[in-house]
Amino acid sequence: MCDDYPPPFVTIHLQGFLAPMEEVLLQQEKQQQLEQLREQMMIKVLPVIQQIVEEETNETVLDMYYDWNFRKNKKCSGMVWISLDISPKQLNKFSWPKELNENMFRREVIALSKKAQKEPDETNLYWLNPRLILVERIGIFVEIENALIEQNYGETLKL
């Protein structure tokens, strides 16, 4: 990565992040209620995280995304991805390791996307560190998903 600019992404990996009430829902196999509870929590927490990131980086937060992995009898884990509003030139500054073939990796991501949904309109890869690759897939929704989003069922799809 180039040192001329601050990094355009902030990632937060959370492990063992499960409140007692959430643990009860998980044990009772009430996945949907657990996800709804976590969604409500994130609505309150994200603005606080945004403020901290903006103060620490002196940059504007562009987007924030998150995902959770709830597994019974295992540690709950999650990721928060934050995209900073930094020059697009910087996105080309991520160097892909020479021993890995970026084009082959991209083709594999596209093949897996086709299996699950459809081929993305655009696939961007960002090598953030030796343990983390950010894959941005743009235009992956099929027609029914787009129709559901237009009918305000986006939250249902997210869950």
3-class DSSP string for the chain? CCCCCCCCEEEEEEECCCCHHHHHHHHCCCHHHHHHHHHHHHHHHHHHHHHHHHHHHCCCEEEEEEEEECCCCCCCEEEEEEEECCCHHHHHHCCCCCCCCHHHHHHHHHHHHHHHCCCCCEEEEEEEECCEEEEEEECCCCHHHHHHHHCCCHHHHHC
- Indicate if the pLDDT at residue 130 is higher than 50: yes
**pLDDT-derived band at 4, boundaries 50, 70, 90:** very low
**pLDDT-derived band at 3, boundaries 50, 70, 90:** very low
- Indicate if the pLDDT at residue 29 is higher than 70: yes
Q: For residue 65, give both structure tokens.
A: 């995304």
- Indicate if the pLDDT at residue 55 is higher than 90: yes
* Amino acid identity for residue 139 in this structure: G
- Give residue 146's pLDDT: 66
- Give residue 16's pLDDT: 83
- Indicate if the pLDDT at residue 23 is higher than 90: no
Q: What is the mean pLDDT of residues 62-69?
A: 90
